[in-house]
Amino acid sequence: MLKSSNLNSVIDQLDADRTVSGAAVVPENNNKLVKTDDNECSMAALQMSFGILEIAEPPLVRVRAQLKELIGKQNKFYIDVSKEKYKLDCSEVAKLIDMMNDVKRYKERLVKIKKDMQSIYQRSKVLKKRAANVATCKQRDYQRKLEKQQQEESLIGGQLQ
């Protein structure tokens, strides 16, 4: 937030100077010395400072009001921007947390799928081996059957002759 303490201290000092110089103005001889707050000043100097103050005070008062208004608007704008930033930060954090949770869930799925694939690979490997053994056994059985049939045919053929 903007600090307005310097502005306030300057404005307070101007107000204090104005009251001091305004109380000391006495329309008398220009050469007389007037004592205000332990400062000796000539009457002409006081009248001149009072005249300059009268000329400069209205713009300063207007500028003071504008500065206060500007500082108030800047503070309000800063607060609004801070709130929006906080909302965005919160929404971004929420999105990031959701993404991290999704990553964790997808990683668990991936590990499960990998285990399933490994299991399927092992079972298919065993089944292929078993299928090869079954095929070999059937081939041997078929060979034995053929040999037995040929032997029977040779025995039958040998008896007929």
Give the tokens for residue 92. Answer: 């971004």
Higher pLDDT, 31 or 96: 96
Q: How many CB atoms lie within 10 A of CB 3?
A: 8
Q: Are 42 and 30 in contact (CB under 8 A)?
A: yes
Minimal CA–CA distance to 36: which of 50, 12, 48, 20? Answer: 20
Q: What's the start-to-end Cα distance of the chain, in Å?
A: 125
Asked whether the CA dihedral 146, 150, 156, 160 is positive or negative, the reply is positive
pLDDT of residue 43: 82
How much is the pLDDT for 7? 55
Dihedral over Cα of 134, 135, 136, 142: its sign: positive
**What pLDDT digit, counting tens, does each position of 38-61 carry?**
456 688 888 888 888 888 888 889
Q: What average pLDDT does the segment 103-123 reach?
A: 97
Domain-wise residue ranges, the chain: 5-160
Asked if pLDDT for residue 25 goes beyond 50, the answer is no
**Predicted TM-score of the model (pTM):** 0.39
Reported as type and span, the H/E element at residue 35 is strand 33-36
Confidence of residue 30 (pLDDT cuts 50, 70, 90): very low
Q: 3-class SS at 36?
A: strand
- The candidate with the shortest Cα–Cα distance to 41, out of 11, 16, 9, 17, is 17
Helices (H), the chain: 5-23, 43-160
pLDDT at 114 over 90: yes
Identify the pLDDT of residue 15. 66
- Interval 127-154 mean pLDDT: 93
